[in-house]
Amino acid sequence: LDRIWADAPLTGLVNNAAGNFLSRSEDLSLKGFDAIANTVFRGTFALTHNCSRRWLAEGRRASVLSILATWIWNGSAFTVPSAMAKSGIKTMTQSLAVEWGGRGIRLNAIAPGPFPTEGVRARLRPGMSEDDAFANARHDNPMGRVGRPSELANLAAFLMSPGAEFINGEIIAIDGAGWLAGGGNFAHLRHWGDAEWAEARSNIRAADAADRSARG
């Protein structure tokens, strides 16, 4: 951040840190929990806090936008660390919007529903083809489809823009009313047995190994 500020101070921050994987909660280790919580919860707060202290000291107007998930409203079985972390960021957003809004810093968040990405497919729908991975999401969604990246980008750009300066402390869902219709989480996996969970763990570990190899 020191190098960024030396070049040109930021006027906005998008918190899009994500870490997640499917797991029965009784199978989680504290190390696994920390891997998610440190990325999503601590990482988001650390950047928000660091940038905001600079903005406040400089008297600079700025906007913070965090990307959450619709299960902040109803929880999500089998992704408990992420659900806990993102719910905490929701609380941070609403709390700091009140604390800092009058000093020129706005905080808002977006709660997306299903937006197909390789990371989501590999860790939340492991071992499935892209078509199969999101077939249920399309079928169950009131609009009969999943989200398009441009739709998420357009909403984010608006919330960060001067045209949205009176929007503060809001959490906006973009999911085609999916969570209202069916929860938008992984509750259906409660019917999985040991074999399904073992296969999921194997596929997630393979995806992690491939990512590490690609990063060198």
**Domains annotated on the chain, with CATH:** 2-177+185-215 (3.40.50.720)
- pLDDT exceeds cutoff 60 at 143: yes
Output 146-155 pairs: Cβ under 8 A, ≥24 positions apart.
146/113, 146/114, 146/115, 146/116, 147/112, 147/113, 147/114, 147/115, 147/174, 147/175, 147/176, 148/115, 149/115, 152/110, 152/112, 152/115, 155/110
User: For 19-32, what is each residue's pLDDT tens digit?
Assistant: 888 899 999 999 99
Render pLDDT for 42-61 as a digit per residue (tens, 0 to 9).
Answer: 999 999 999 999 999 999 99
Q: Which residue has the tokens 């994500």?
A: 18
Rounded-to-integer distance, Cα 151 and Cα 116, Å? 13
Quote the pLDDT of residue 169: 98
pTM comes to: 0.83
Average predicted confidence (pLDDT) for the chain: 89
Q: List C-alpha distances in Å: 28 to 13, 33, 87.
A: 31, 7, 19
Please tell me the predicted confidence (pLDDT) of residue 48. 98
